[in-house]
Amino acid sequence: MKYTEAPGNQELLFLKKSMNSLIALFKTLRYKQWAKNLLLFAGIIFVRKLTDMFLLKRVLYGFITYCLISSALYIFNDIMDLVSDRDHPRKRNRPIASGAVSIRAAVIWLCGLGLIGLIIAGELGVPFFLVTLVYIILTVAYTLYFKKIVIIDVMIIATGFVLRTLAGTVVINIKISSWLLICTLLLALFLALVKRRQEISNSGLGSGRKTLESYPITFLDQAITIVTGSTLTGYFLYAFSSWHGEHLLLTVPFVIYGVFRYLLLIHRERAGEEPEEVLFSDLPFLVNLALWVITCLLIIYLW
């Protein structure tokens, strides 16, 4: 007598499979990396417009736009890096590389997210749309070509952070200090260099990434040291010269601790390959970041 599953078990199995597929699709968004898009709020915060509900609403729409578009670009990257990701000790567990999400589903998901993001970007005005378009083109060019070129790769990653900050200013038609953009660039360059260092340290030179073979650890350590000093100096100058007066200098200790804590984690815990993991997993770093944000808000809006 042939055994057949009961209808209830088949429905339960189908429901479980569907749920797993939805979870896998959600993971392709790399939602933890949406934290990078919080840079869109830098402009509205530092020009004391955070309480303007009309402007805040526009920045929120801008943030949503960049979350959608950045996730679409992450999916595009995962599709293009499918073969190399399958050989990587950590990246092979990503939904597309592991086969949990099919290429067809990933492409549909990518197109849907990108289209919605572009529609919202268009509604937010031509300047915001153009900055967003530059961000997309630069990211696609990085995935297809520039990620293979030593030094240029980390510079493009850093430029992506600056474009996020710039998008947050053009969406509400404001101008912020050039020093703030410079600080953003230097901090992003610091994170990109650390990421490269940890990719080599954690995966080794035989990880299938030819670019990594062009980065000696000694060079990256020296570059990180230079950029660390430049980042701190840039922030000191911004805090000293900002129109908030010298009060913003009170936030300097938090910045110093945050940078040093991050450096400690990359050497002691081998963190830094995924910057967002440090943000969400290290309590001292998270508390320090919260204190920096609170102190900045108090100085800018109440002092």
**Cβ neighbours of residue 90 closer than 8 Å, sequence gap 6 or more:** 202, 203, 273
Confidence at residue 205, expressed as pLDDT on a 0 to 100 scale: 46
CB 59, CB 41: distance < 8 Å: yes
Sign of the Cα torsion 201, 203, 206, 207 reads negative
What is the per-residue pLDDT for 14? 58
Write down the pLDDT at residue 252.
Answer: 93
Q: What whole-number distance in Å separates Cα of residue 296 and Cα of residue 64? A: 24
Q: Does the domain made of 24-176 have the CATH classification 1.20.1260.10?
A: no
> What gap in Å lies between CA 13 and CA 22, rounded to an integer?
14
* Residue spans of the chain under pLDDT 70: 1-9, 11-18, 203-210, 244-245, 271-272
CA gap 127, 62 in Å, rounded: 12
Whole-angstrom distance, CA of residue 23 vs CA of residue 54: 34
- Going through 109-210 in order, the beta strands assigned E by DSSP cover none
d(CA 157, CA 193) in angstroms, rounded, equals 10
Does the CA dihedral 119-122-124-128 come out positive or negative?
Answer: positive
Report d(CA 64, CA 293) in Å as an integer: 21
As a whole number of angstroms, the longest Cα–Cα distance in the chain is 85
**How many C-beta neighbours within 10 Å does residue 234 have?**
20
What per-residue confidence (pLDDT) applies to 202?
Answer: 73
Q: Where are the domains of the chain?
A: 24-176, 177-303
Sequence-distant (≥ 6) Cβ neighbours of residue 93 within 8 angstroms = none
Share of the chain above pLDDT 70, in %: 90
C-alpha angle 25/166/173, rounded to 5°? 115
The CA distance from 139 to 128, in Å, is 16
CA angle, residues 164, 147, 263, in degrees to nearest 5 = 65
Quote the pLDDT of residue 258: 94
